[in-house]
């Protein structure tokens, strides 16, 4: 760029956005970053600078770092420096097929990883791997009721949950106190199908329900340690979603809509979940829109 002194000067690179919404596609090669409010259906603002393979859900930790668990067993963690920051480190989930993850601080503390199937993949039930960047995956949580873990959640007290495909016709929710032991089956869990999990600011567990008729549901529970108390729902989704996450303010819920190949945004409170708008720019329905996660900046 030429300025008044007549000399050529470089144009500084734009600063990375501090906040936004990540979206992953199962068959896509990259996770995309969007503005937090994309009501006008605008293009992505950035692309995460590492390639991915078979990513189902994605997560953002309490510091703002993106976590992408890949089906081949690799868990990649980005820097907590803004949207689409570079990769910090990846680790191998040696226990199974990684499909979901959660962490309060992926750089320094535990990352819990949901495995839909354990190794070897054929016919093995799933589990939760407990991992760190420093030591890799060193602990594996299983329970006889788990057929395949679809969603995981980790609360601020270090307790974790697995939302699992069951060996019967109904899903099952397993509570692991302090992410240890054999776990306990949660009671009064009313979901009709498996799905992802999130935790709101009041400690309520948000459980996604992928139903068989292309219209999902959202349930909100308190406790589930192991007794669940229904707070709200079931709230109907616009389409069919397995995974979704809240924004930092806790008033918006972004759901990855597989049925329509888009992201659906809902207003959220524990007793009221209402559809607001959707966006599609940059996404391909054939790639299977699977995961969403807001930054925490």
Does 259 score more than 60 pLDDT?
A: yes
Residue 5 clears pLDDT 70, i.e. is over it: no
Q: Where are the domains of the chain?
A: 21-294
Residue 118, φ and ψ in degrees, nearest 5? -90, 165
Q: 203-248 pLDDT, tens per residue?
A: 999 999 987 566 899 999 999 999 999 999 999 999 999 999 999 9
Residue among 264, 246, 152, 171 at smallest CA distance from 209: 171
Residue pair 242/248 in contact (Cβ under 8 Å)? The answer is: no
Q: Rounded to whole angstroms, how far apart are CA atoms 271 and 279?
A: 25
Q: How far apart (Å, rounded) are the C-alpha atoms in residues 133 and 76? A: 10
Select from 1.20.200.10, 2.60.40.10, 2.40.37.10, 2.120.10.30 the CATH code of 21-294: 2.120.10.30
> Residue 17: what pLDDT?
80
137, 127 in Cβ contact below 8 A? no
Confirm if 62 and 73 have CB atoms less than 8 A apart: no
What is the reported pTM?
0.92
Give the tens place of pLDDT for each residue, 271-287: 999 999 999 999 999 99
Q: How far is CA 221 from the centre of its chain?
A: 18
3-state secondary structure of 85: coil
- R_g (Cα) of the chain, nearest Å: 19
Range of lowest pLDDT (43-52, 84-93, 205-214): 205-214
CB 105 within 8 A of CB 118: no
* Confidence at residue 95, expressed as pLDDT on a 0 to 100 scale: 95
């Amino acid at each position: 760029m030429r300025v008044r002194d007549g000399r050529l000067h470089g144009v500084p690179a734009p600063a990375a956005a501090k906040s936004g919404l990540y979206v992953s596609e199962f068959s896509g090669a990259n996770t995309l970053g969007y503005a937090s409010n994309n009501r006008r259906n605008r293009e992505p603002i950035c692309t995460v600078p590492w390639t991915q393979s078979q990513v189902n859900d994605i997560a953002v930790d309490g510091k703002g770092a993106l976590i992408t668990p890949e089906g081949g067993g690799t868990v990649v963690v980005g820097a907590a420096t803004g949207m689409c920051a570079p990769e910090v480190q990846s680790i191998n989930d040696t226990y199974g097929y990684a499909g979901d993850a959660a962490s309060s601080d992926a750089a320094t503390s535990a990352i819990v990883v949901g495995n839909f199937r354990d190794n070897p993949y054929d016919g093995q039930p799933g589990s939760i791997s407990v991992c760190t960047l420093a030591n890799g995956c060193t602990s594996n949580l299983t329970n006889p009721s788990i057929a395949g873990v679809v969603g995981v959640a980790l609360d601020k007290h270090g307790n974790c949950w697995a939302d699992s495909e069951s060996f019967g016709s109904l899903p099952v929710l397993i509570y692991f106190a302090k992410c240890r032991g054999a776990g306990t089956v949660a009671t009064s869990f009313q979901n009709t199908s498996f799905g992802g999990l999130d935790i709101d600011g009041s400690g309520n567990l948000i459980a996604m329900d992928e139903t068989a008729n292309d219209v999902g549901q959202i349930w909100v529970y308190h406790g589930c340690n192991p007794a669940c108390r229904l707070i709200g729902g079931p709230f109907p989704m616009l389409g069919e979603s397995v995974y979704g996450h809240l924004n930092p303010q806790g008033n918006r819920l972004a759901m990855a809509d597989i049925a329509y190949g888009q992201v659906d945004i809902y207003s959220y409170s524990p007793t009221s979940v209402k559809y607001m708008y959707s966006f599609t720019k940059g996404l391909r329905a054939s790639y299977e829109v699977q995961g969403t996660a807001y930054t925490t900046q």
